[in-house]
Amino acid sequence: MAEKCGHFIGQQGNIAIYCSKPKHEGYDKCFAHDEKLIAEREQARADLNRKAALCDQLVNIARGCHDYGGGYREPSESEIYHHGIQTVVNALEAALKDPNAFQVRMLESIGSRVHSEKA
Ligand SMILES: [Zn+2]
């Protein structure tokens, strides 16, 4: 039998009511009452929201690069530049839509390999 949470819930007349749910594994109280666990969940939620906002921001930055044009004035260079940036924008938009899509994962895998080879 798992140890009980024991969080004070309230008073009913002379009787104190304590939470009788089992402690969450590795924590002092149950899933609903452990302050450390609640803080960790809030932190994880905040991290997820921040990452989601960052993803939108990254796509907008790539779109901005496309509009900015990279300073290329020669039509042929400009065309190559725009084609390259459009590939990045498309890949980021695809990743936002479905982070587990095959091509998205393949690009990510190539990118992480290239990055770790440089480090
Ligand atoms: Zn509890």
Q: Are residues 69 and 107 in the same domain?
A: yes
Q: For residues 46 and 36, what is the distance between their CA atoms, to the nearest angstrom?
A: 15
Q: Are residues 68 and 26 in the same domain?
A: no
Residue 71 has pLDDT above 90, yes or no: no
Q: Ligand 1 centroid vs 92 CA: distance in angstroms?
A: 43
Q: Ligand 1 centroid vs 2 CA: distance in angstroms?
A: 13
Average pLDDT rounded to a whole number, residues 40-62: 93
Q: How many domains does the chain have?
A: 2
Q: Are residues 48 and 27 in the same domain?
A: no
Residue 1 has pLDDT above 70, yes or no: no
What mean pLDDT value characterizes the chain? 92
Q: Ligand 1 centroid vs 23 CA: distance in angstroms?
A: 7
Question: Which pLDDT score is estimated for 63?
Answer: 92
Q: Are residues 4 and 48 in the same domain?
A: no
Name the CA dihedral angle for 104, 109, 115, 119, rounded to a multiple of 10 degrees: 150
Per the structure, the complete domain to which residue 29 belongs is given by 1-33
Q: Are residues 82 and 27 in the same domain?
A: no
| Single pTM value for the model | 0.63
